[in-house]
């Protein structure tokens, strides 16, 4: 089996790192004009991750061998937060020497007392460091901006985290399993000691309706959303709600972006051997019933109940609405009201004037 992420076409002497494997640093920063132009359209999460290189991944993997020696340090269990406020999230675009040691992970499953994270970049673990493929977040994890409290119950599926330090869960010697054998249900070797939540994409005034299963049908979307249910209020399947939703970021690649084009296809082939967890659904974390929207929605439903020809009703309303918009925007209809100035009756008619201001002239 070829060494993961090596380039056999190069004649450069391979370097050995402190992970005990050979890596070819056949990488470069992207300088194509397309990447610079696209950066303006990327969200803050993708913009930060875009700066992550293969060298950063290797440094993190190497640093983990130093953290093995810290297994005798006790880490306290943090108290849960008493309020329902979201944990702070932020992105960093300039890193100092301390912050540069990091690896990006995605929340792929949640449990009552922990979360399981999966590495965003397969070149962090390759084929041989399976211990780094999945890690655990629990009540001992210290979160940037939320240091005094436990992060359990505060993360969403799909959250992207910058892990800056790991702690080994047991005192057994580190014997990394093969990465291809690891999955979210495997026994975790590492737990996250320190991390930062990357800036979240939050959408407010989201309109949705509940399904019987507790998920949501969201207005304007073709994918269901998960809902964090309010404990004190039952759900009404006949009503519409408005709420705030967390939208997970779908990363563009499973490897860092600093590889040359001629080797990238081979690396993607290697990465495809790893099973991938599905992208998380959006999560509606706060909501309330909307009587106004429910009333409007019921008007439409009642109209359908009064007629068996629902297609004709839909077509009629759609065409009339479209015609009204086109008439008022592109047509020559003018329904504005003007006061009559100096009206004078002349025989069978009335003669008058209207104002014609320069700022808003009358055609």
pLDDT in tens, the chain (363 residues): 333 333 333 333 333 333 333 233 333 334 333 333 333 346 888 889 888 888 899 999 999 999 998 876 788 999 999 888 899 999 988 877 666 899 999 999 999 999 999 999 888 888 889 999 999 999 999 999 999 999 999 999 999 999 999 999 988 889 999 988 899 999 999 999 999 999 999 999 999 999 988 899 999 888 899 999 987 788 999 999 999 999 998 887 777 777 767 777 777 777 777 777 888 999 999 999 999 999 988 887 777 776 667 777 777 777 877 887 776 676 555 566 778 888 898 888 888 888 877 766 665
Residue 146: inside a domain = yes
Residue 161: inside a domain = yes
Residue 158: inside a domain = yes
pLDDT at 140: 96
Residue 212: inside a domain = no
pLDDT at 332: 56
| Helix pair angle (310-329, 291-305), 10° resolution | 120
Residue 79: inside a domain = yes
Q: Structural domain tally of the chain? A: 1
Residue 208: inside a domain = no
pLDDT at 4: 39
Residue 275: inside a domain = no
C-alpha–C-alpha distance, residues 296 and 293, integer Å: 5
Residue 51: inside a domain = yes
User: Which residue in 152, 120, 126, 96 sits closest to 45, CA to CA?
Assistant: 120
Name every residue whose Cβ is closer than 8 Å to that of residue 124 and which is 6 or more positions away in sequence: 57, 60, 61, 103, 132
Query: Could you tell me the residue range of the domain that residue 195 belongs to?
Result: 15-199
C-alpha–C-alpha distance, residues 212 and 134, integer Å: 33
């Amino acid at each position: 089996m070829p060494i993961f992420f090596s380039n056999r076409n190069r004649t450069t002497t391979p370097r050995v790192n402190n992970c005990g494997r050979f890596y070819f640093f056949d990488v470069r920063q992207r300088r194509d004009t397309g990447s610079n132009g696209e950066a303006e359209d990327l969200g803050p999460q993708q913009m930060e991750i875009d700066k992550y290189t293969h060298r950063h991944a290797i440094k993190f993997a190497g640093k983990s061998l130093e953290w093995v020696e810290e297994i005798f340090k006790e880490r306290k269990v943090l108290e849960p937060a008493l309020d329902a406020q979201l944990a702070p999230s932020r992105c960093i675009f300039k890193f100092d020497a301390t912050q540069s040691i990091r690896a990006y992970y995605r929340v792929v499953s949640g449990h009552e007392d922990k979360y399981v994270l999966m590495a965003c970049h397969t070149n962090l673990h390759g084929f041989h460091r399976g211990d780094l493929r999945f890690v655990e977040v629990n009540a001992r994890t210290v979160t940037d901006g939320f240091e005094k409290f436990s992060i359990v119950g505060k993360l969403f599926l799909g959250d992207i985290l910058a892990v800056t330090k790991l702690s080994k869960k047991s005192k057994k010697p580190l014997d990394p399993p093969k990465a291809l054998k690891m999955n979210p249900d495997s026994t975790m070797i590492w737990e996250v000691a320190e991390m930062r939540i990357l800036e979240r994409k939050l959408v407010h005034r989201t309109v949705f309706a509940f399904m019987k299963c507790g998920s949501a049908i969201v207005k304007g979307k073709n994918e269901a959303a998960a809902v964090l249910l309010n404990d004190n209020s039952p759900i009404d399947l006949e009503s519409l709600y408005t709420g705030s939703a967390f939208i997970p970021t779908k990363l563009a690649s499973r490897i860092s972006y600093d590889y040359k084009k001629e080797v990238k296809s081979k690396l993607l082939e290697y990465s495809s051997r790893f099973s991938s967890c599905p992208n998380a659904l959006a999560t509606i974390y706060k909501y309330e019933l909307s009587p106004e929207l429910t009333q409007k929605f019921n008007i439409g439903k009642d109209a359908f109940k009064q007629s068996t020809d629902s297609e004709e009703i839909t077509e009629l309303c759609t065409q009339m609405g479209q015609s009204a918009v086109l008439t008022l925007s592109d047509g020559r209809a003018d329904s504005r009201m003007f006061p009559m100035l100096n009206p004078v009756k002349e025989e069978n008619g009335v003669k008058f004037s209207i104002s014609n201001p320069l700022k808003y002239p009358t055609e």
